[in-house]
Structure 1
Amino acid sequence: MSSGPQTRNQHAVDAEIDHITLSVGDARARAAEYVERYGFEVIAAGETPEFTAVAVGQRDTVLLLLQGLTDDHPSTLFTARHGDGVSDIALRVATPDPTVLQAFGDVTHSFVSRPAGAPWSLPGIAPVRTEGTTETAATSAPATRHLLRVDHIAVCLETGELDGTVEFYRRTLGWEVVFEEDIHVGAQAMQSKVVQSPNAGVTLTLLQPMSGAVPGQIDDFLKKHGGGGVQHLAFAVPNIVDAVAELGGSGVRFLSTPDTYYEDLHERLGSSGYAVAELRKHSVLADRDHDGELFQIFTRSEHPRRTLFMEIIERRGATTFGSNNIRKLYEAVERQDLA
């Protein structure tokens, strides 16, 4: 892990997510999927002898689909090791900085400074007018734009790497842990620590398997991905029932939830912003913490390795991450299997 320049150790760094780079084997095809299924629109594109790039945006979220065209391009090397996946989480900061930090696994942090309201661009990647198309990637979104922003990014780490990764963020960016817990699901167990920028513009949920526990979903990701990396991106929405209904109609495939999960949901949550019947119809999970309610659902991974997936999340005051849902869903599946 690179510690970056020593000046970064002097103060905490406020940051927002400028964009998330996904290294992919086919940038145009992947961009078209985000446009058609999630309601993004193409905002920039570029092609050089080294790469093809398409940037898709929706409100404050920009995903950069980057395809290496040479054997030694970083995106080519990344996809050879991991398949398509998040390779860089670019941080928007006040002062331009050419530093690139090696964060975890093969994922980096680059730093971007751009004027407010300026068209999104990077060297070799120019803004695209909203009318028309860029070959197979349509620029305009056919679906309603439900996604507000990136709520958090979930990261899987090898056992023993969690504390070192937390220290890396403290040392280089001055980010601190805002939430932590151990999650036990049957004989499986994982540790979670959430690091966040001081302005809450970037939230990373760091997960590692607990030593000695039965292997679970984190171990499965690490094996299939080939080490630590981004497991899922969580997108905030204003109304999860409307979002899931429309995204599902656009081709996004969500994980189903067994009916047994909802048997005691009213007793667990009390009065809720959604009727239990609505949540059951759309397989939405619900949780409550001391600050409010949280509703979430996960997509089925479309990745050939079954690694990267997405989360749709609505917060009504809640500040935690739905760990009770992991336990309750596990128990619901067990009840269903025994029925």
Structure 2
Amino acid sequence: MKPITMEKQNTMNTPQDFLPINGTDYVEFYVGNAKQAAFYYQTAFGFQPLAYAGLETGLKDRTSYVLVQDKIRFVFTSSLVPDSEIGVHAMKHGDGVKVVALWVDDARKSWEETTARGAVSYFEPRVEKDNNGEVVLSGIHTYGETVHIFVERKNYKGPFLPGFVAWNPEYRSTDVGLRYVDHMVGNVGWGQMNQWVDFYARVMGFSQLVSFDDKDISTEYTALMSKVMSNGNGRIKFPINEPAEGKKRSQVEEYLDFYGTSGVQHVAMATDNILHTVRELRNRGIEFLTVPGSYYDTVLNRVGKIDEEILALKELGILVDRDDEGYLLQIFTKPVEDRPTVFYEIIQRKGAKSFGKGNFKALFEAIELEQGRRGTL
């Protein structure tokens, strides 16, 4: 299999951008059973096998499967020994995101710039090599037990990273039209949102795109607050959520209770045809949150003319919102594992740069219905 490549956009980094980032390199999950997780994401989400590392490649403590769909790379890693960092992480938190890896041109400089500004080092810059060339990696800590790894791969031609081999199983599903990571949402504890907003601004040079308070994101029962941080060229967007006072336990509180610490709540994956993508995902068993049918009776009064048939959106439960630059379509899965923690957003942007503020009330009421069924509201 040919190695995956990413096209750089023409957007130039501004002079003050001391941490230029080309895009999301990969997202790594620590899981209880990497083989089964990889099969699930192939079958249900249409990811394709890319690379593998494990006993057969000389590893004694872990196994990793790498999957790809267009520009999205997911890595699923599980422990082969009971007391490793990976095994302890999976036991404490359930399956969850450990690494949000960022594709950079200079991993040494990225580490130096961020640690000089106060980031705690995960590991210092190191060079890893094999017959396909070399990569430079470095890492820093962020909220909870999540880390950022900077990946410099301009001198590497292998399928993923040194130590991995191409993975070519007989079974292959068809993709569902997922294209790239649009944004990743982090849930943090009470009173911690501004701390991590400051971290991304001060340590990584991000700027705040938008903020939502408990008046924007609330229902009769629950509320939360959120601020969206973005890097200099806009390719990386990290909304940061924290709980807000409400009559009952919010989705952020539920996540923190079951995950045990701050972490990545959901990954939003973009598509060019959300109707096709959602139909495919439904046919493969992915379950989505549903809003009342009455949502569609008035949504066009709010968002105006759209290209899609409203009945098709209603059939699939897809939400619509508009901002000054266009509109977007979005839908959210139910949690994809036993713990009500990690879920996914499928989003199609038709000009809009926002995050669906007009849908918050309907979405959160749908989440509360699921929390009620779980007895965690």
Q: Same fold (TM over 0.5)?
A: yes
Q: In structure 1, how many angstroms separate the alpha carbons of the residues matched to 2:317 and 2:363?
A: 11
Change (3 A) 1:193 1:27: same
The within-5 A match list for 1:1-339 is: 11-47=18-54, 48-97=59-108, 98=125, 99-115=138-154, 118-129=157-168, 132-133=169-170, 138=171, 140=172, 142-182=173-213, 183-211=217-245, 214-329=248-363
Other structure's SS at 1:235 match: strand
Instruction: Report how far residue 31 of structure 1 moved.
Output: 0.6
The answer (yes or no) to whether the contact 2:65–2:75 under 8 Å persists in 1 is: yes
Instruction: Report how far residue 69 of structure 1 moved.
Output: 1.4
Q: In structure 1, how many angstroms separate the alpha carbons of the residues matched to 2:69 and 2:367?
A: 35
The answer (yes or no) to whether the contact 1:290–1:318 under 8 Å persists in 2 is: yes
The answer (yes or no) to whether the contact 2:47–2:175 under 8 Å persists in 1 is: no
Specify the code of the residue in structure 2 equivalent to 1:112: V
Q: In structure 2, how many angstroms separate the alpha carbons of the residues matched to 1:32 and 1:320?
A: 33
Match of 2:5 in 1: none
The answer (yes or no) to whether the contact 2:184–2:238 under 8 Å persists in 1 is: yes
Specify the code of the residue in structure 2 equivalent to 1:54: Y
The answer (yes or no) to whether the contact 2:286–2:333 under 8 Å persists in 1 is: yes
Q: In structure 1, how many angstroms separate the alpha carbons of the residues matched to 2:156 and 2:278?
A: 30
The answer (yes or no) to whether the contact 1:155–1:229 under 8 Å persists in 2 is: yes
Instruction: Report how far residue 145 of structure 1 moved.
Output: 3.8
Instruction: Report how far residue 213 of structure 1 moved.
Output: 6.2
The answer (yes or no) to whether the contact 1:261–1:332 under 8 Å persists in 2 is: no
The answer (yes or no) to whether the contact 2:176–2:281 under 8 Å persists in 1 is: no
Instruction: Report how far residue 269 of structure 1 moved.
Output: 1.7
Q: In structure 2, how many angstroms separate the alpha carbons of the residues matched to 1:213 and 1:300?
A: 23
Q: 1:294-337 CA deviation, whole Å, 9 max, x = no partner?
A: 11111121311121111110111111111221213457899xxx
The answer (yes or no) to whether the contact 2:21–2:102 under 8 Å persists in 1 is: no
Change (3 A) 1:236 1:10: closer
Gaps spanning 5+ residues in structure 1: where?
1-8, 335-339
The answer (yes or no) to whether the contact 1:152–1:234 under 8 Å persists in 2 is: yes
User: How many pairs are equivalent?
Assistant: 318
Q: Once superposed, what is the RMSD of the aligned Cα atoms?
A: 2.2
The answer (yes or no) to whether the contact 2:69–2:175 under 8 Å persists in 1 is: no
Change (3 A) 1:257 1:213: closer
Q: In structure 1, how many angstroms separate the alpha carbons of the residues matched to 2:98 and 2:155?
A: 25
The answer (yes or no) to whether the contact 1:13–1:173 under 8 Å persists in 2 is: no
Specify the code of the residue in structure 1 equivalent to 2:325: D
Q: In structure 1, how many angstroms separate the alpha carbons of the residues matched to 2:203 and 2:93?
A: 26
Change (3 A) 1:330 1:45: closer
Match of 2:7 in 1: none
Relative to the length of structure 2, the TM-score reads 0.79
Change (3 A) 1:51 1:34: same
Instruction: Report how far residue 127 of structure 1 moved.
Output: 2.5
Gaps spanning 5+ residues in structure 2: where?
1-15, 109-124, 126-137, 369-377
Instruction: Report how far residue 172 of structure 1 moved.
Output: 2.0
Specify the code of the residue in structure 2 equivalent to 1:59: D
Specify the code of the residue in structure 2 equivalent to 1:122: L
Q: In structure 2, how many angstroms separate the alpha carbons of the residues matched to 1:156 and 1:188?
A: 15
